[in-house]
Protein backbone atom coordinates (compact mmCIF):
# COMPACT_ATOMS: atom_id res chain seq x y z
CA UNK A 1 0.00 0.00 0.00
CA UNK A 2 1.30 3.42 -0.93
CA UNK A 3 0.20 6.66 0.72
CA UNK A 4 0.18 10.12 -0.88
CA UNK A 5 -1.21 13.44 0.20
CA UNK A 6 -3.44 15.50 -2.08
CA UNK A 7 -0.59 17.83 -3.08
CA UNK A 8 1.55 14.89 -4.21
CA UNK A 9 -1.38 13.53 -6.22
CA UNK A 10 -1.89 16.85 -8.00
CA UNK A 11 1.79 17.07 -8.89
CA UNK A 12 2.25 13.44 -9.97
CA UNK A 13 -1.16 12.06 -10.93
CA UNK A 14 0.01 10.29 -14.12
CA UNK A 15 2.96 8.67 -12.38
CA UNK A 16 0.86 7.54 -9.42
CA UNK A 17 -1.85 6.03 -11.64
CA UNK A 18 0.80 4.22 -13.69
CA UNK A 19 2.27 2.86 -10.47
CA UNK A 20 -1.15 1.60 -9.32
CA UNK A 21 -1.62 -0.21 -12.63
CA UNK A 22 1.89 -1.66 -12.59
CA UNK A 23 1.97 -2.86 -8.98
CA UNK A 24 -1.76 -3.52 -8.47
CA UNK A 25 -1.27 -1.99 -5.01
CA UNK A 26 -3.83 0.08 -3.18
CA UNK A 27 -2.98 3.77 -3.05
CA UNK A 28 -4.32 5.87 -0.19
CA UNK A 29 -4.94 9.60 -0.64
CA UNK A 30 -4.58 11.73 2.47
CA UNK A 31 -5.97 15.17 3.16
CA UNK A 32 -4.79 16.77 6.39
CA UNK A 33 -3.24 13.44 7.40
CA UNK A 34 -6.55 11.55 7.10
CA UNK A 35 -7.50 9.01 4.40
CA UNK A 36 -10.08 10.51 2.04
CA UNK A 37 -9.95 8.25 -1.03
CA UNK A 38 -8.30 5.22 -2.58
CA UNK A 39 -6.88 4.47 -6.01
CA UNK A 40 -7.00 0.86 -7.10
CA UNK A 41 -6.27 -0.83 -10.42
CA UNK A 42 -9.51 -1.33 -12.41
CA UNK A 43 -9.38 -5.15 -12.57
CA UNK A 44 -8.93 -5.32 -8.81
CA UNK A 45 -11.90 -2.99 -8.34
CA UNK A 46 -14.04 -5.15 -10.63
CA UNK A 47 -13.16 -8.24 -8.59
CA UNK A 48 -14.07 -6.43 -5.39
CA UNK A 49 -17.45 -5.41 -6.83
CA UNK A 50 -18.24 -8.99 -7.84
CA UNK A 51 -17.25 -10.24 -4.40
CA UNK A 52 -19.28 -7.53 -2.63
CA UNK A 53 -22.43 -8.19 -4.69
CA UNK A 54 -22.36 -11.95 -4.06
Task: Give the pLDDT of residue 8.
Answer: 92
What topology is assigned to 2-53 in CATH? YefM-like fold (3.40.1620)
What is the pTM assigned to this prediction? 0.73
Average pLDDT, 10 consecutive residues per value, the chain (54 residues): 90 90 90 93 89 85
Q: Where are the domains of the chain?
A: 2-53
Phi, psi for residue 42 in degrees, rounded to 5 = -60, -40
Burial of 40 (0-12, 13-18, 19+ CB in 10 A): middle
Spatial neighbors of 32 by CB under 8 A, at least 6 apart, are none
Amino acid sequence: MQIFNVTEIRQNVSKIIAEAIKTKELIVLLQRSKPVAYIVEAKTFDKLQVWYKS
